[in-house]
């Protein structure tokens, strides 16, 4: 279908303009292409994927730009990734093997269900808190937590709060749990069964796997980013503009025109923007109402930055690492809150064992005795570090601090040979679900849509972490299209708990 507006010289007309070629933008483009509508997808980055992309080091190690795995609530999303990567050999399926490093012990995830593995003094501290929390719930059954900290205390007690939940979540979010709301939790935090926890503590047993990602898929090749570059290939090239020709300079929202960096003007009826909403508002200039939305964003929208670091190590994966997937770190002996044994996700995430690489350094920081290139095999670890106003990070030393932390937490031995390092910082890493978030979004998102025809969606476009997984993000784009064209409800954005509590098979590709 073609779409034309009143002609204006030098202006390209489309029905729907999509800004951003990450999961949300590709979800929108997939739906628009399926419906044979007029659209254009633009992005200033030349490779699709956004915050779900994958980088490759000069030595040949792959690192995702964050901890990503595929699990899905939607048949439509499944159809899309199957079309992008249709062959059985395109995918690997893993059983999650995840632990928390606490008191020099690997505690199976989720921590609150497995305190039986802790030293006795910490077990008693955690059990005492659980019992007191249960008594408090009995005395005050009608109380509903407002903050994340209140939720933790009500469901788990002071012991688990102090040993794990408070320190770990500060390391993830960069703000205390007292400044966070609890509406975002949904299926992300396991509420422990007091009876089962006590039983496991007495029998020294551990709880089984929990959560929607207990089993997950991962691409055999090209990392998580390979999903999205493959999906981008399903979109007609003439409807995509990536790289320097797709960079947006400003948005003349009153005229419904986007001006690209190269001067090209694109006029639209509907705009689906996956830019961070604070950045989107900055592109809108002095349009009516923008100043008020910018004030709401400054006052109510909080984010942290994420630093991704990677290490490529020579040698066979050690037994102490085994088949671990991702690992959590609540204590201060390392700068990172999570580490992923990225080579366990796919053998193609590391160079082949025949690749000859020099040793850059030993894990203890010393220079190798022999710096001549040598063969593998190789394995790799990826780390995530939070940076925020309340949690500063020294960017000049964070790599060295991470390597020291890996030794301190038994991920590396001092003599391990590091052959590759990786570091990348994302200014907008996590959209923090603070207490003022929802009030700010209520002053921003409806105004953008109703007044200006702009659907601001995606991890930072709609600023809702609870619907920020890859499947959610993709479907935010799909549902924005259906809302813009047909008035269909956006269930993922507005009814996230309902979406997460069921299998969504109504829409198919």
What are 96-122's pLDDT values in tens digits?
889 999 999 999 988 888 888 899 999
Residue of 419 and 113 predicted with greater confidence = 419
Q: 105 and 82 in one domain? A: no
Query: Which residues, listed in sequence order, are joined to residue 326 by a DSSP beta bridge?
Result: 340
Residues 6+ positions from 347 with CB-CB distance below 8 Å: none
For residue 15, what pLDDT is reported?
Answer: 98
Per-residue confidence at 7, pLDDT binned at 50, 70, 90?
low
**Is residue 389 one of the residues assigned to a domain?**
no
Per-residue confidence at 189, pLDDT binned at 50, 70, 90?
low
The radius of gyration computed from the CA coordinates of the chain, to the nearest angstrom, equals 24
Computed over every residue of the chain, the mean pLDDT equals 92
Distance CA 265, CA 257 (A): 6
For residue 195, what pLDDT is reported?
Answer: 78
Residue of 333 and 6 predicted with greater confidence = 333
Pairing outcome for strands 302-314 and 91-95:
unpaired
For residue 1, what pLDDT is reported?
Answer: 45
Q: 160 and 105 in one domain? A: yes
For residue 185, what pLDDT is reported?
Answer: 81
Beta carbons of 24 and 477 less than 8 angstroms apart? yes
Residues 6+ positions from 175 with CB-CB distance below 8 Å: 302, 304, 388, 390, 432, 434
Considering the entire predicted model, what is its pTM? 0.92
The pair phi, psi for residue 12, each rounded to 5°, is -90, 130
pLDDT, average across residues 48-70: 93
CATH number at residue 74: 3.50.50.60
Residue of 468 and 504 predicted with greater confidence = 468
Instruction: Calculate what percentage of the chain has a pLDDT beyond 90.
Output: 79
Distance CA 81, CA 300 (A): 35
Q: 76 and 107 in one domain? A: no
Distance CA 162, CA 133 (A): 14
Last residue of a domain, one of 203, 232, 264: 203
**Is residue 109 one of the residues assigned to a domain?**
yes
Q: Please give the tally of structural domains in the chain.
A: 2
Classify 3 in phi/psi space as left (phi over 0), alpha (psi -120 to 50) or beta.
beta
Instruction: Identify the domain containing residue 143 by its residue range.
Output: 99-203
Q: 199 and 103 in one domain? A: yes
For residue 56, pLDDT over 80 is answered with yes
pLDDT tens, 227-282?
999 999 999 999 999 999 999 999 999 999 999 999 999 999 999 999 999 999 99
pLDDT tens, 71-99?
788 999 999 999 999 999 999 988 888 99
For residue 459, pLDDT over 80 is answered with yes
For residue 2, pLDDT over 60 is answered with no
Classify 278 in phi/psi space as left (phi over 0), alpha (psi -120 to 50) or beta.
alpha
Per-residue confidence at 164, pLDDT binned at 50, 70, 90?
very high
**CA terminus-to-terminus distance, the chain:** 18
Q: 199 and 54 in one domain? A: no
**Is residue 63 one of the residues assigned to a domain?**
yes
**Is residue 76 one of the residues assigned to a domain?**
yes
Q: 195 and 128 in one domain? A: yes
For residue 208, pLDDT over 80 is answered with no
**Is residue 344 one of the residues assigned to a domain?**
no
Q: 186 and 115 in one domain? A: yes
**Is residue 318 one of the residues assigned to a domain?**
no
pLDDT, average across residues 469-487: 96
**Is residue 113 one of the residues assigned to a domain?**
yes
Q: 124 and 56 in one domain? A: no
**Is residue 448 one of the residues assigned to a domain?**
yes
CATH number at residue 137: 1.10.3110
């Amino acid at each position: 279908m073609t779409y034309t507006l009143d002609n204006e010289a030098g202006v390209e007309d489309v029905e729907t303009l999509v800004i951003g070629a990450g999961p949300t933008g590709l979800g929108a483009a997939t739906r628009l292409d399926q419906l044979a509508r007029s659209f254009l997808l633009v992005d200033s980055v030349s490779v699709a994927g956004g915050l779900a992309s994958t980088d490759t080091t000069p030595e040949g190690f792959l690192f995702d730009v964050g901890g990503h795995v595929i699990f899905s609530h939607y048949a439509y999303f499944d159809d899309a990734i199957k079309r992008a990567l249709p062959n059985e050999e395109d995918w690997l399926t893993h059983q999650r093997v995840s632990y928390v490093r606490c008191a020099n012990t690997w505690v199976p995830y989720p921590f609150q269900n497995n305190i039986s593995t802790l030293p006795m003094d910490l077990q008693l501290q955690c059990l005492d808190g659980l019992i007191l929390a249960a008594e408090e719930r009995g005395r005050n059954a009608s109380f509903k937590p407002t903050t994340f900290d209140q939720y933790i205390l009500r469901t788990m007690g002071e012991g688990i709060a102090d040993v794990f939940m408070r320190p770990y979540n500060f390391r993830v979010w960069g703000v205390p749990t007292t400044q966070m709301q609890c509406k975002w939790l949904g299926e992300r935090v396991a509420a422990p069964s007091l009876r089962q926890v006590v039983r496991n503590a007495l029998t020294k047993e551990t709880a089984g796997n929990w959560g929607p990602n207990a089993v997950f898929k991962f691409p055999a090749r090209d990392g998580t980013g390979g999903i999205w570059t493959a999906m981008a290939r399903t979109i007609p090239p003439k409807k995509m503009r990536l790289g320097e020709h797709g960079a947006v300079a400003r948005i003349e929202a009153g005229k419904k025109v986007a001006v690209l960096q190269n001067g090209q003007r694109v006029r639209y009826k509907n705009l689906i923007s996956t830019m961070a909403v604070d950045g989107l508002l900055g592109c809108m200039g002095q349009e009516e109402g923008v100043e008020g939305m910018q004030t709401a964003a400054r006052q109510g929208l909080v984010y942290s930055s994420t630093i991704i670091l990677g290490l490529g190590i020579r040698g066979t994966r050690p037994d102490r690492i085994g088949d671990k997937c991702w690992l959590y770190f609540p204590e201060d002996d390392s700068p990172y809150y999570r580490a992923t044994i990225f080579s366990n996700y796919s053998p193609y995430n590391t160079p082949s064992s025949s690749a000859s690489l020099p040793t850059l350094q030993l894990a203890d920081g010393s220079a190798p005795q022999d710096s001549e290139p040598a063969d593998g095999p190789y394995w790799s670890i990826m780390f995530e570090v939070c940076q925020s106003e309340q949690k500063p990070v020294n960017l000049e030393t964070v790599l060295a601090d991470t390597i020291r932390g890996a030794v301190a937490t038994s991920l590396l031995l001092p003599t391990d040979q590091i052959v590759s390092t990786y570091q990348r910082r994302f200014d907008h890493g996590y959209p923090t679900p603070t207490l003022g978030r929802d009030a700010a979004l209520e002053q921003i998102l409806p105004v953008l849509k109703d007044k200006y025809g702009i659907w601001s969606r995606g991890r930072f476009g709609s600023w809702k972490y609870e619907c920020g997984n890859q499947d959610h993000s993709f479907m935010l784009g799909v549902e924005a299209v259906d809302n813009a064209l047909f008035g269909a409800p956006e269930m993922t954005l507005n009814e996230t708990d309902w979406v997460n509590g069921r299998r969504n098979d109504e829409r198919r590709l």
